[in-house]
Amino acid sequence: MFSVLQVVLALFIVQTAANPLPRANNVILDSATFTGTSTGKVTKFLGIPYAQPPTGDRRFRLPEPIPPYTGTVQATASGPSCPQQSAHLPLPEGLPSDIVDLIANTAYKAIFPESEDCLSINVIVPSTATPTSKLPVAVWIFGGGFELGSPNMYDGGPIVERSIQLGEPVIYVSMNYRLNAFGFLASQEVKDAGLGNLGLQDQREALRWIQKYISSFGGDPTKVTIWGESAGAISAALHMVANDGNHEGLFRGAFMQSGSPIPVGDITHGQVYYDAIAAETGCSSASDTLACLRSVPYATLKTAVDHTPFIFDYQSLALAWIPRADGVFLTDNPQKLVQDGKVANVPFITGDCDDEGTLFSLANLNVTTNAQFRTYIKTFYMPQSTDAELDQIMNLYPSDITKGSPFGTGILNVLSPQFKRLAAFQGDAVFQAPRRFFLEQRSGKQSTWSFLSKRLKGIPLLGSFHFSDILNVYFGGEMEDYLINFVNKLDPNGEGRGINWPKYTTSSPNLVTFNDNLLFPVTISQDTFRTEAISFLTEVTLANPL
């Protein structure tokens, strides 16, 4: 089991190693020649700027298109990551060292260098691709809680190689986007200026860049699938409801691993964090705080950002920096937009891991009593809830350890008295409930598929934790082939590994289920678990989004 984890670690450490046999591989964009690096099978063009640097007066502004390229450019190294919120994770005693390493490498490992000038894009193509190839395109949006992360953490090369092997070649694209306060500043001031959700706007600019340039690499701009994990999957989901569902032809399908339209409310809900940053940088009393924040030195601003709550702090998934309804790009609570039918009408896949909440419950292990659990939920997830609603949540997510997450592990994995309970609640509130709601609302109206990853269940304390399905797609699992099929034909079925994946419908809410079982690694189950609890959660969060 742990050798598999070591493979994950390798993902973060090895990166895109220098190729022993590079050969010239050029692409012409405007009047510039970009040279990439070839392995013989695939060619990588890395670190291409796709927007103007969001620095100086462009900080906290919409991304601006890049002017036409000129000259000769070596596109052989990834660009710097966007500013990362610094991690401080309270890891408990008794976690296996592999797990600690994995988490540490995910959250802490220097995704360096980082720079405010970070809006670059990577394109990986089959080496035989030419400007007439018209290949479908998979656009990867990385996760990291909208606070950290980088495309450099993931190597798309093996996926492109596998697509060639399957006879369904694809192009892989990944982009940087602004994170934490740099990308998701939220307040009345931001709302008035029409400058919300800049990180999503960056992704959108990258999608426009793809429309303009991907054919030069051999791609077909009409065959773009957006795809991501965690914050990346939530991003893909939000692109489906952004602009009231008008996707502007930027993509034709979406593939979401652990992320669906989330219940977030008005952008002014982020005011407290905006005010904290303004205060710490000395901008509070400025007549125009936003202009002031634009003028403070990078290091000062970054320090202030690092003092705001982080995904592995006590409030965990009740994120400080997160997309919110800005009135322009996201006109309402994303779940409301789904309910109103303001959704891009494209085929989509959205699935989750079985134990989405465990990793995040490591941050709140000192919640040990029923009363503390109740206070925690009220404070961070349901500030508007009534006593009756909280009573109901307490009943639907009982303190019975055999009902908690990691699910199906009986009396095991009780790291602290409320750990499994809070893990169950957090996983459902942020992942399972939004996923099921999205599917229930849209199945029958557009093509929908869903999955549940129950792999790595035996990992102590964490079970099939958030992020564990990355193995299945980046390290040669069935998910990789389902993805390649979907990107080619808007249907996950076809070539390669895995069983037939039936659509998700209201009458038959099918979940392709990935198991540890060697005889039955993939089965079909029904999306009927915790029905009452999840529908109540949806009801409450829809009425009072975060």
Ligand X SMILES: *[C@@H]1O[C@H](CO)[C@@H](O)[C@H](O)[C@H]1NC(C)=O
Alpha helices in 88-246 (DSSP H): 97-107, 157-165, 180-184, 188-193, 198-217, 231-241
For the chain, how many helices (H) and strands (E)?
A: 19, 15
If we measure between CA atoms, which residue out of 267, 86, 308 comes closest to residue 184? 267
CB proximity list for 287: less than 8 A, separation 6 or greater: none
Backbone angles phi, psi at 65, to 5 degrees: -60, 150
Ranges assigned E (strand) in 300-433: 348-353
Return the number of the residue (27 or 363) whose C-beta is nearest ligand X: 363
CB proximity list for 375: less than 8 A, separation 6 or greater: none
Per the CB < 8 A criterion, the answer to whether 219 and 207 are in contact is no
Render the burial of 204-229: b for 16+ CB within 10 Å, e for the rest: bbbbebbbebbbebbbebebbbbbbb
Return the number of the residue (11 or 382) whose C-beta is nearest ligand X: 382
Return the number of the residue (126 or 309) whose C-beta is nearest ligand X: 309
Question: Three-state SS across 490-537?
Answer: CCCCCCCCCCCCCCECCCCEEEEEECCCCCCCEEEEECCCCHHHHHHH
285: burial class by Cβ within 10 Å (0-12, 13-18, 19+)? exposed
166-174, 365-373, 389-397, 515-523 -> range binding ligand X (CB under 6 A)? 365-373
Return the number of the residue (142 or 380) whose C-beta is nearest ligand X: 380
CA 202/CA 206 separation, integer angstroms: 6
The neighbouring-strand residues paired with 524 are 512
| Residue in the shown chain whose Cβ atom is closest to ligand X | 366
Closest distance to ligand X from the beta carbon of 8 (Å): 29
Distances (CA, A) of 399 to 371, 402, 411, 425, 499: 11, 9, 12, 11, 37
Return the number of the residue (220 or 313) whose C-beta is nearest ligand X: 313
Considering only 231, 256, 277, 367, the residue that binds ligand X (CB under 6 A) is: 367
CB proximity list for 409: less than 8 A, separation 6 or greater: 457, 463
CA 42/CA 482 separation, integer angstroms: 20
466 counts as catalytic: yes
Among positions 425-444, residues that touch ligand X (CB under 6 A) are none
Closest distance to ligand X from the beta carbon of 357 (Å): 17
Return the number of the residue (309 or 434) whose C-beta is nearest ligand X: 309
Closest distance to ligand X from the beta carbon of 367 (Å): 5
Closest distance to ligand X from the beta carbon of 105 (Å): 24
Q: What is the DSSP string of 60-82?
A: TS---BPPPPEEEEE--SPPPBP
Closest distance to ligand X from the beta carbon of 151 (Å): 32
If we measure between CA atoms, which residue out of 120, 131, 339 comes closest to residue 217? 131
Return the number of the residue (306 or 440) whose C-beta is nearest ligand X: 306
Return the number of the residue (85 or 364) whose C-beta is nearest ligand X: 364
Closest distance to ligand X from the beta carbon of 328 (Å): 35
Binding of residue 529 to ligand X (CB under 6 A)? no
The alpha carbon dihedral of 56, 85, 74, 133 has a sign of negative
Q: How many residues bind ligand X (CB under 6 A)?
A: 4
Return the number of the residue (9 or 89) whose C-beta is nearest ligand X: 89
Binding of residue 314 to ligand X (CB under 6 A)? yes
Closest distance to ligand X from the beta carbon of 419 (Å): 13
Considering only 345, 366, 386, 517, the residue that binds ligand X (CB under 6 A) is: 366
Catalytic position from the list 205, 247, 447, 466: 466
Considering only 52, 211, 372, 523, the residue that binds ligand X (CB under 6 A) is: 372
Closest distance to ligand X from the beta carbon of 74 (Å): 47
Question: Three-state SS across 224-265?
Answer: EEEEEECHHHHHHHHHHHHHHHCCCCCCCEEEEECCCCCCCC
Amino acid sitting at position 373: F
Catalytic position from the list 81, 120, 174, 230: 230
Return the number of the residue (2 or 314) whose C-beta is nearest ligand X: 314
Distances (CA, A) of 177 to 85, 182, 205, 231, 339: 13, 9, 10, 11, 28
252-260, 282-290, 364-372, 390-398 -> range binding ligand X (CB under 6 A)? 364-372
Amino acid sitting at position 313: D
* Neighbour count for residue 125 (Cβ, 10 Å): 28
Query: What are the structure tokens assigned to 528, written together?
Result: 């009927």
Catalytic position from the list 147, 168, 229, 356: 356
253-261, 366-374, 452-460, 524-532 -> range binding ligand X (CB under 6 A)? 366-374
356 counts as catalytic: yes
Closest distance to ligand X from the beta carbon of 491 (Å): 47
Closest distance to ligand X from the beta carbon of 314 (Å): 4
- What residues are annotated to the active site? 230, 356, 466
- Applying CB under 6 A, which residues contact ligand X? 314, 366-367, 372
